Structure 1
Amino acid sequence: MAFQFPFKLTGACALLAVAAVAGAATPHHGGGHAHKPPAAAQKEQKPWGIAGEAKSVTRTVALTMDDNMRFTPDKLSFKQGETVRFVIRNQGKLLHELVIGTKAELEAHAAMMAKSPGMAHDLPGMTHVPAGKSGELVWTFNRPGEFDFACLVAGHYQAGMVGKINVTAR
């Protein structure tokens, strides 16, 4: 049974509330960063775009992440309307994740993760990648602007595991 809020949440409040409910409803694993197996991405419009469909991919971008708390590359540019498949390789020995969002929402989520490092969460625009593994994320950048991506595993954002996305208008 899905939980529904009795009122509309937007922006950072929605992100925090969804993560809090997910954390309360999902078991935690020994202080690690718990997560659910990948499910179909939710189709919810965000300021930075919407979950994409594999059949609509117009571009594939390979990213690596490592235990030096860095993404390579850490600056990406897209055109409005592009649907991108991110292929993310974790070259480290720690769990990492890629989360797309605005700087304000990523900062709020990172602060929450620092307070509750075992909290489970699985949101659109996010993928968890275990050590030595690869993951994928398909996203449609249907809004122009400057956005961010980060690893929000407790302490990783604070250590500088961040990147920038520029989406130019059509």
Structure 2
Amino acid sequence: MKTRLALHLAASTLLFATAAAFAHGNEDHAAAARKYDSAKVEAKAFGQEGDPAKVTRVVKLSMADTMRFTPADVVVKRGETVKFLVHNDGKVLHEMVLGTPRELKAHAELMRKFPEMEHSEANMAHVKPSTDGEIIWQFTKAGEFQFACLIPGHFEAGMVGKVTVK
């Protein structure tokens, strides 16, 4: 009986520690000072974190509680470094996450399981209502990619846009 109780307590402690590690809260990850470090840039299927000194274009996007991005379609040139300025016009938290359709779908499923999950990477802007965020991204490969809000329910409601890299 003591062994079973000890195992139960250990499992409960691990569960709570895991939940704490995924804690998300409403903090604005986009506001955190992200320092560009070329040595830490990770190439992904849809490009890589862009060097702020090499931004060639600024694209303004807005997010709304109608679960839509405006504009929903963006065309960029291969090799171009784009700064996305993202404004949350809504009254609820939204985010913009760049990725492949497969990666975004998998991430959205994970967000449904862990809605308070903390995440802050170069391809993400987590934006509180009436505030702005930004993503600086270099599109190194041609193709069609997506951006989406992965807050639980938003992706499923169609809060998805497309980036065409020519």
The interval holding the TM-score normalised by the smaller chain is 0.7 to 0.9
Measured in 2, the distance between the counterparts of 1:163 and 1:102 equals 11
1:62 counterpart residue number: 60
CA, structure 1 residues 160+90, in 2 after alignment: closer, same or farther (shift >3 Å)? same
2:38 is aligned with 1:40: no
Measured in 1, the distance between the counterparts of 2:145 and 2:48 equals 13
- Equivalenced residue count is 144
Amino acid at match of 1:135: G
1:88 counterpart residue number: 86
Measured in 1, the distance between the counterparts of 2:34 and 2:132 equals 16
Q: What's the C-alpha RMSD, in Å, of the aligned pairs?
A: 1.9
Partner of residue 164 from structure 1, selected from 138, 162, 165: 162
Compute the displacement of 1:131 (Å): 0.4
Partner of residue 121 from structure 1, selected from 119, 122, 127: 119
1:134 counterpart residue number: 132
Conservation of the 8 A alpha-carbon contact between 1:59 and 1:84: yes
Q: List runs of 5+ in structure 2 lacking aligned partners.
A: 1-17
Compute the displacement of 1:130 (Å): 0.6
Amino acid at match of 1:155: G
| 1:135-162 C-alpha deviation (Å, 9 max, x unpaired) | 1111000111110100001111001000
CA, structure 1 residues 113+27, in 2 after alignment: closer, same or farther (shift >3 Å)? closer
1:112 counterpart residue number: 110
Identical positions, percent: 47
Compute the displacement of 1:39 (Å): 2.6
CA, structure 1 residues 28+81, in 2 after alignment: closer, same or farther (shift >3 Å)? closer
Measured in 2, the distance between the counterparts of 1:103 and 1:92 equals 24
Q: Whose radius of gyration is greater, 1 or 2?
A: 2
Output the TM-score relative to the length of structure 1. 0.79
Compute the displacement of 1:53 (Å): 1.4
Compute the displacement of 1:54 (Å): 1.2
CA, structure 1 residues 111+35, in 2 after alignment: closer, same or farther (shift >3 Å)? farther
Partner-residue secondary structure (3-state), 1:137: strand
Output the TM-score relative to the length of structure 2. 0.80
Conservation of the 8 A alpha-carbon contact between 1:35 and 1:122: no
| 1:58-106 C-alpha deviation (Å, 9 max, x unpaired) | 0110000010000000011111010001111100011111000000000
Conservation of the 8 A alpha-carbon contact between 2:73 and 2:161: yes
2:68 is aligned with 1:73: no
